[in-house]
Amino acid sequence: MKDENRNGAPLRLHHEVRGSGDPILLLHGFGASLYTWRHLAGPLAAERQVLLLDLKGFGASPKPRDRRYSAFHQAAGVRAFVRAHDLQGLTLAGHSYGGGVALLLATHLLRRDPGRLRRLILISSVAYPQPLPRYIGLATRPFLGPLFLALLPKEFLVRRALEAAFHRHDRISADAIRAYTRPLTTRAGRRTLVQSARQLIPPDPQALISRYRSVTVPTLIVWGREDRIIPLALGERLHRAIPESVLVVLDGCGHVPQEERPEETLQAIRHFLQQTGCTAQSPAGTS
């Protein structure tokens, strides 16, 4: 598990650090950035240290032409970040694709560096083989994928993707459309999106699935009941596979609980941290 730039040094991933106390590291999903945590970062930072990370190729992080954009490469980059910041007693959280990266990293840390990881939070997480959403599948096609991203109106593409992800379309803000459109306006952003899409499916998914039972830290799984990207049935399967997991299902919610139902998602995370002994520095009046 190793991902470096051309001179052999680990990539410097763009990140933000807020608050102090027990660390929680938040990993975004495919095509997103640390922007996805905007509703949760402030409240959580009032109670602990929150680290927001842009994965390689996304947000403001580097977008090298090395074609190393699989979940394994992403997990290696996050592992280097964890070690560089010497994060101990870590709560690792990931949404969708970032959840898959978090799962990979968790299994690695529990084998190689078991004292570092304390908890895992998976939100609508990639975990099992399934058909790719249509807008991602198109991006994987040779020649057509880059052309598709280059020629079609970017805001139109983003709006359609968000409409697939949200249960209630009235909760899609104009600011969110602008934020998720911005990376697609650059050639590097489009190129890394295509590379990442082409490497979404690992070569041996069953080998990864067999490791889920080795995740022995307390694990929170949050899912939207109306998720059309990764169905709830897969979240329930993941819950059965991870021994120390609890599943929270949010009604009236699609694939992005942290954006569509942020208050309920925050409540579920806070309750989980309290139940598993997190020493939060809670201000008066928080729950």
Q: How confident is the model at residue 67 (pLDDT cuts 50, 70, 90)?
A: confident
Q: What is the mean pLDDT of residues 181-185?
A: 91
Percent of the chain with pLDDT over 90: 74
What is the reported pLDDT for 11? Answer: 82
More confident residue, 212 or 207: 212
Mean local confidence (pLDDT), 136-162? 71
3-state secondary structure the chain: CCCECCCCCECCCCEEEECCCCEEEEECCCCCCHHHHHHHHHHHHCCCEEEEECCCCCCCCCCCCCCCCCHHHHHHHHHHHHHHCCCCCEEEEEECHHHHHHHHHHHHHHHHCCCCEEEEEEECCCCCCCCCCHHHHHHCCCCHHHHHHHHCCHHHHHHHHHHHHCCCHHHCCHHHHHHHHHHHHCHHHHHHHHHHHHCCCCCCHHHHHCCHHHCCCCEEEEEECCCCCCCHHHHHHHHHHCCCEEEEEECCCCCCHHHHCHHHHHHHHHHHHHHCCCCCCCCCCCC
Per-residue confidence at 281, pLDDT binned at 50, 70, 90?
very low
Reply yes or no on whether the pLDDT at 45 is more than 80: yes
Is a pLDDT exceeding 80 seen at residue 7? no
Least confident interval from 4-8, 153-157, 275-279: 4-8
153 vs 186, residue with greater confidence = 186
Q: Where are the domains of the chain?
A: 15-132+203-275
| pLDDT higher than 80, residue 226 | yes
Q: Is the pLDDT of residue 132 over 80?
A: no
Region 189-194: what's the mean pLDDT? 89
Give the pLDDT of residue 146: 60
The reported pLDDT for the residue numbered 207 is 87
Of the listed ranges 85-94, 226-235, 275-284, the one predicted with least confidence: 275-284
Mean pLDDT of 52-56: 98
User: pTM (2 decimals)?
Assistant: 0.90
Mean pLDDT of all residues belonging to the chain? 89
Confidence of residue 203 (pLDDT cuts 50, 70, 90): confident
**Per-residue pLDDT for 286 more than 50?**
no
Confidence of residue 153 (pLDDT cuts 50, 70, 90): confident
pLDDT at 27 over 70: yes
**So what's the architecture of 15-132+203-275 in CATH?**
3-Layer(aba) Sandwich (3.40)
In this prediction, residue 139 carries a pLDDT of 60
Lowest-pLDDT choice from 63-77, 103-117, 192-206, 248-262 = 192-206
